[in-house]
Amino acid sequence: MKVAVVGATGLVGTVMLEVLQERKFPVTEFLPVASERSVGKPINFNGKEYAIVSMEAAIAARPDVAIFSAGGSISKEWAPKFAEVGTTVIDNSSAWRMDPTKKLVVPEVNAHVLSPEDKIIANPNCSTIQMVVALEPLHKAFNIQRIVVSTYQSITGTGVKAVKQYQLEQKGFEPAPEEMAYKYQIFENVLPHIDVFTENGYTKEEMKMVNETKKIMGDDSIKVTATTVRVPVLGGHSESVNVEFTQPYELADVRHLLETAPGVIVVDDVDNFQYPMPLFSRHKDEVFVGRIRRDESIANGLNLWIVADNLRKGAATNAVQIAEYLAAKGWIG
């Protein structure tokens, strides 16, 4: 398999290389792509050293698959050019997610929507991915009518600049304005603000969760409202999720559905203080679910606490899983 990784030197791109290696994806030719200033610089993959190549060189090589993690504007410009030469693009930016002509895929939920004709496939937002992995089996069983979600999102979701800002503040330094990834200090602080604010008072991150959830789960009738929050955590997103079903349920059935769901690990033993935490989700590909309890304030309500590594299942792993699905079908390679 001839594989290009666009944005190979970034925070997600670096994890992408790790995941490809760990999952033994059949890479026979590797094309690391980064910015023009990085072209020619060495990068290690699978025990070998490769030189970073330009977009043009990668396109000329006609890779079977190109996994993008380089930002929306770059994807908008270059993904179609890869697709034109027959490459299947799996894009980690927000560029194509709500495009009605493009599939938005979480393999555990809706891989079945993919076809050999799909040449640009969108990887969802990190916070949406982990939520729908946990909720899909419950929706099938009890029919979700409303979701209220509050997120506690790691600074790694913003990128290297945010991590550097945090580390400077942690050491007692005040970052220069150009070193600030956020408007305010993030160390020992919480920011109820992820991405830009929209006209309705919600942020783009919050609206991503609203719109992407409906598209991935294939149900526009689900009502979703979100509050997304940045917390000073180095890796791992957490979510408090309140769900209202149209059908009655038993907690034992909910627990069984989650324990047998693909990609989910239940960690829920409050007597022994066992519950999901970002610290324990790091470098893992699964979605962890705990604090499973009935919402006693409404009929058919349920509360969950959902945690995942945002750089892995929330980004790199999900993209590689899409590639694995395509390869298993014989649609790439």
Q: Could you list the pLDDT tens digit for every one of the 333 residues in the chain?
A: 999 999 999 999 999 999 999 999 999 999 999 988 999 999 999 999 999 999 999 999 999 999 999 989 999 999 999 999 999 999 999 999 999 999 999 999 999 999 999 999 999 999 999 999 999 999 999 999 999 999 999 999 999 999 999 999 999 999 999 999 999 999 999 999 999 999 999 999 999 999 999 999 999 999 999 999 999 999 999 999 999 999 999 999 999 999 999 999 999 999 999 999 999 999 999 999 999 999 999 999 999 999 999 999 999 999 999 999 999 999 998
* 65 and 207 together in one domain: no
Cα pseudo-dihedral 247, 248, 253, 257, rounded to 10: 20
CA distances from 129 to 19, 175, 311, 325 (A): 17, 32, 11, 17
* 199 and 300 together in one domain: yes
* 148 and 266 together in one domain: yes
* 292 and 321 together in one domain: no
Strands 48-51 and 42-45: antiparallel
* 70 and 131 together in one domain: no
Within 143-203, where are the H helices?
Answer: 160-170
CA distance 5 to 12: 10
* 305 and 323 together in one domain: no
* 284 and 154 together in one domain: yes
Instruction: Please identify every residue annotated as catalytic.
Output: 126, 237
What total of structural domains would you count in the chain?
A: 2
> Where does residue 160 fall: left (phi above 0), alpha (psi -120 to 50 degrees), or beta otherwise?
alpha
Task: Tell me the three-class secondary structure of 1-64, residue by residue.
Answer: CEEEEECCCCHHHHHHHHHHHHCCCCCCEEEEECCHHHCCCEEEECCEEEECECHHHHHHCCCC
Predicted structure pTM score: 0.96
* 197 and 282 together in one domain: yes
Domain that includes residue 78, residue range: 2-123+315-329
CATH of the domain at 35: 3.40.50.720
* 14 and 57 together in one domain: yes
CATH of the domain at 159: 3.30.360.10
268, 238 in Cβ contact below 8 A?
Answer: no
* 289 and 170 together in one domain: yes
* 159 and 264 together in one domain: yes
Q: Which residues pair with 230 in a beta bridge?
A: 153, 191
Nearest Cα residue to 97 out of 238, 229, 225, 204: 204
* 37 and 7 together in one domain: yes
Q: DSSP letter at 313? A: I
Amino acid symbol at 48: K
